[in-house]
Amino acid sequence: MKASTIQQLKIELINTPSDQLIGLCIRLAKFKKENKELLSYLLFEASDEQAYIENIKIEVQSKFDEINTSSLYFVKKSLRKILRMLNKYICYTGSNETEVKLLIFFCATLKNSGILISKNLVIKNMYQNQLKKISKSIATMHDDLQYDYIRELEKYQ
C-alpha cells in the first residue's frame, strides 16, 4: 500500500465531517504509543510550553538520579536512554527554542552530575554532539535570542 501525500491527506481531512475526524484521531492514537503521546501534547500541553519544559526537566533530573554509576557501560546506556526520551519530546514541540532549552539543561545536568565526561570517549562525544546540535538550533533563531543562548552555551563548552 502506498501512503498518500500530505497535500492529499490535508484535502481529504478538510472534506471530512468533524465526528468522523474525531474517530480517525482516536483510532490513530490507539495504533501507536507515539501517536497517543503527540496527540496528548497537542491537546493538553502545547498551550503552556513553559510548563511542558519544566515537566520534562523534572523527568530528566529524576532519570539522572537513577543512573547506576558503578560502571561506565551503565552510564552510557542511561545517557542514551535519556537522550532518546528528550529527542522524542523535542520532536513533539517542533520549536528550536524548546530544543535549545532542553539540550542545554541536559548538558548542564550531565556536567554537574559528577560523571567524568573526559574519562570516556563515547560520553565525551555524546556531550560534544549535543553542543553541536544546540549550536545549529541557535543559528536558526532571532538575533536577540541567539545572543542569550550563545552566552549560556559558552558555560558548557
Encode pLDDT of 110-147 as tens digits: 999 888 888 889 999 999 999 999 999 999 988 888 88
**Containing structural domain, residue 84:** 48-154
pLDDT at 151 over 80: yes
Residue at 38 is within a domain: no
Question: What is the tally of structural domains in the chain?
Answer: 1
Q: What is the reported pLDDT for 39?
A: 87
Residue at 29 is within a domain: no
Overall pTM surpassing 0.85 (yes/no): yes
pLDDT at 104 over 90: yes
- Number of CB atoms found within 10 A of residue 92's CB: 20
CB contact at 8 A, 130 and 84? no
Residue at 132 is within a domain: yes
Q: How far is CA 26 from CA 15, 19, 53, 86, 98, in A?
A: 18, 11, 26, 25, 27
Residue 97 grid cell = 527554542
Residues 6+ apart with CB under 8 A from 82: 60, 63, 64, 106
Residue at 98 is within a domain: yes
Q: What is the reported pLDDT for 1?
A: 74
